[in-house]
């Protein structure tokens, strides 16, 4: 069936567009339509793939019809197809926003190279989401790491070079750690295919428990470093705050979630829930999660730069995903996987809103936001919606993430996790509410208190409206996402379906 080839059609489309983008002059009338058109077509293909999976169920795709044990295999279930669609749609909105904003950060002649890197980032993220092969996962991961360094360092100033160098060094440590873990897992199982490894892991576990434990230690440490869980987060604040705004949005909004999703696949599809709980790995994950939830917010409170504040906030928010993984129940996975998409929407909204403020006013310090809500009501309105979601106000998707996590914590008899979630919500309010209040309720000495339209290009306004609306819609109707997760859970909790 043609529909079964949709994963490779999407990847080939992105790859061809990435390779050909530098050949088009940025002044050409074809340049912008080509970028937007590529991601629009890819999104439509992803929507078609989601409908096919929702109708017919999950499917495998074997490249070249090779047997899955020796070839490359993709596996697409309901959540995978939804996540692919979400990544493409959010990336499309970020690219549309960047068409004007990026010109404030880099010369126009460098924009083709920038968009090549962005398209390769999306290409590698989708590959990581869909692949069912451990080494193939690593290959896509390396492409993502290198392109991430590129979109950080492209501004070519001292802060960006230092941030990208730190990201490269620590990312390399994470990559080597993951590769060692995969190699050790291959050594005892003889397989790289996730399904084949899952089928042999239970018997191998009885003979080589230490090997598997060490392998998992390497893999989880590497993924934790790349996902920026506390205290492995030290590269993130510099990288995400120094990068151009569209880069910050895609890095904090999507990229770190890809590594968290990879962890979910390895733990639940490859290793299995029984082994995870036998060696208590899930419990250790919850310890790191709650520390990250609290400490990320504590560090965010002390930040004066808006983008640096949002970067530290991501350290806290990734803790929610890790907490859902660590709880290791169906409700825990629902909460973690829901928050992956919910936070992608919220954090992209926040970074793009901050970028619009910087584009229009040049203001980066949070104590200079007084009265900005009158000058940029739409921009600060979108920022406020996402900020309220991060705090956990009902009606926005961030509240539902915390609600599901609370239910999962009660389910396993550990209400202490709810206390940490409430503490984090309070801390989120401490650094987000003053920004919202000062923007709309404080007077400014620099401008009149008269509400005017946002003086920013339409290509920057539209993504903010769409993302802000998406945060509310998925908050009021969370089952849009939750029903998909619940349909896909059997492919995670028990790989054979």
Tell me what pLDDT residue 349 has.
93
Could you identify the residue written with the tokens 């945060």?
A: 471
Tell me what pLDDT residue 156 has.
75
Please state, in angstroms and rounded to a whole number, the distance separating the CA atoms of residues 354 and 372: 11
Could you identify the residue written with the tokens 């309105």?
A: 381
Tell me what pLDDT residue 388 has.
92
Rounded to the nearest 5°, which phi and psi values hold at 344? -60, -40
Tell me what pLDDT residue 497 has.
31
Give pLDDT tens digits along the chain (497 positions): 556 788 889 999 999 988 888 877 777 777 888 888 889 999 999 999 999 999 988 888 887 677 666 778 888 899 999 999 999 999 999 999 988 888 877 878 788 888 899 999 999 999 999 998 898 999 999 999 889 888 888 877 777 788 888 888 888 898 999 999 999 888 888 888 888 888 888 788 878 888 888 888 899 999 988 888 888 888 888 887 788 888 888 988 899 899 999 999 998 888 888 888 888 888 888 888 999 999 888 888 888 888 889 988 888 889 999 999 988 888 989 999 999 999 999 999 999 998 888 888 878 888 888 778 888 888 889 999 999 999 988 888 888 989 999 999 888 888 888 888 899 889 999 888 888 888 887 776 666 666 677 778 888 889 999 999 999 999 999 999 999 998 888 888 653 33
Buried b / exposed e over 458-490, threshold 16 CB at 10 Å, is: ebbbebbebbbebbbebbeebeebbebbbbbbe
Asked if 375 contacts 452 with a C-beta cutoff of 8 angstroms, the reply is: yes
Q: In Å, how far from its chain's centre is CA 460?
A: 21
DSSP-derived secondary structure for 67-131: -TTTS-EEEE-HHHHHHHHHHHHHHHHHHHHHHHHGGGTS-GGGHHHHHHHHHHHHHHHHHHHHB
Please state, in angstroms and rounded to a whole number, the distance separating the CA atoms of residues 47 and 284: 37
Kindly report the CA angle at 278 between 272 and 280, in degrees rounded to 5?
100
Tell me what pLDDT residue 33 has.
85
Asked if 240 contacts 251 with a C-beta cutoff of 8 angstroms, the reply is: yes
Closest by Cα among 411, 408, 381, 377 to 396: 381
State the Rg of the chain over Cα: 22
Closest by Cα among 340, 304, 313, 330 to 492: 330
Asked if 408 contacts 335 with a C-beta cutoff of 8 angstroms, the reply is: yes
Please state, in angstroms and rounded to a whole number, the distance separating the CA atoms of residues 399 and 212: 37
Tell me what pLDDT residue 359 has.
85
Q: Omega into 422 within 30° of 0, i.e. cis? A: no
Tokens describing residue 299:
């560090």
* Overall pTM surpassing 0.85 (yes/no): yes
Tell me what pLDDT residue 103 has.
80
DSSP-derived secondary structure for 138-205: HHHHHHHHHHHHHHHHTT-SHHHHHHHHHHHHHHHHHHHHHHHHHHHHHHHH---BHHHHHHHHHHHH
């Amino acid at each position: 069936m043609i529909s079964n080839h949709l994963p490779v059609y999407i990847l080939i489309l992105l790859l061809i567009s990435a390779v050909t983008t530098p050949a088009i002059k940025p002044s050409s009338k074809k340049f912008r339509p080509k970028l937007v058109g590529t991601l629009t077509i890819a999104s439509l293909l992803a929507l078609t793939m989601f409908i096919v999976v929702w109708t017919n169920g999950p499917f495998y795709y074997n490249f070249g019809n090779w047997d899955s044990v020796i070839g490359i295999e993709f596996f697409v279930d309901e959540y995978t197809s939804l996540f692919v669609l979400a990544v493409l749609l959010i990336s499309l909105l970020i690219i549309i926003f960047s068409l004007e904003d990026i010109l404030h950060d880099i010369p126009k002649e460098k924009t083709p190279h920038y968009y090549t890197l962005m398209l390769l980032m999306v290409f590698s993220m989708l590959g990581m989401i869909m692949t069912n092969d451990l080494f193939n996962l690593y290959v896509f991961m390396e492409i993502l790491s290198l392109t991430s360094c590129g979109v950080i360092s492209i501004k070519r100033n001292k802060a960006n070079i230092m941030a990208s160098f730190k990201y490269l060094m620590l990312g390399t440590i994470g990559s080597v750690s993951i590769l060692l873990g995969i190699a050790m897992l291959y050594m005892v199982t003889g397989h790289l295919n996730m399904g084949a490894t899952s089928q042999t892991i239970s018997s191998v576990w009885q003979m080589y428990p230490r090997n598997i434990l060490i392998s998992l230690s390497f893999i989880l440490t590497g993924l934790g470093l790349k996902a920026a869980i506390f205290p492995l987060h030290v590269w993130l604040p510099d990288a995400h705050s120094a990068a151009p705004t569209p880069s910050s949005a895609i890095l904090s909004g999507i990229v770190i979630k890809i590594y968290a999703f990879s962890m979910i696949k390895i733990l639940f599809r490859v290793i299995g829930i029984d082994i995870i709980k036998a060696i208590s790995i899930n419990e250790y994950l919850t310890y790191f999660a709650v520390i990250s939830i609290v400490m990320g917010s504590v560090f965010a409170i002390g930040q004066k730069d808006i983008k640096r504040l949002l970067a530290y906030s991501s350290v806290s928010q990734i803790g929610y995903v890790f907490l859902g993984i660590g709880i290791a129940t169906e409700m825990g996975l629902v909460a973690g996987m829901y928050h992956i998409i919910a936070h992608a929407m919220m954090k992209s909204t926040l970074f793009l809103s901050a970028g619009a403020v910087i584009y229009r006013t040049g203001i980066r310090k949070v104590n200079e936001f007084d009265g900005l809500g009158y000058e940029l009501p739409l921009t600060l309105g979108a920022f406020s919606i996402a900020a309220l979601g991060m705090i956990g106000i009902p009606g926005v998707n961030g509240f539902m993430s915390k609600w599901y996590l609370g239910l999962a914590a009660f389910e396993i008899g550990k209400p202490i996790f709810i206390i940490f979630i409430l503490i984090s919500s309070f801390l989120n309010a401490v650094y987000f509410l003053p920004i919202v209040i000062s923007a709309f309720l404080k007077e400014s000495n620099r401008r009149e208190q008269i509400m005017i339209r946002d003086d920013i290009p339409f290509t920057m306004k539209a993504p903010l409206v769409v993302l802000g609306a998406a945060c509310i819609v998925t908050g009021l109707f969370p089952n849009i996402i939750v029903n998909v997760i619940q349909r896909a859970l059997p492919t995670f909790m028990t790989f054979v379906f």
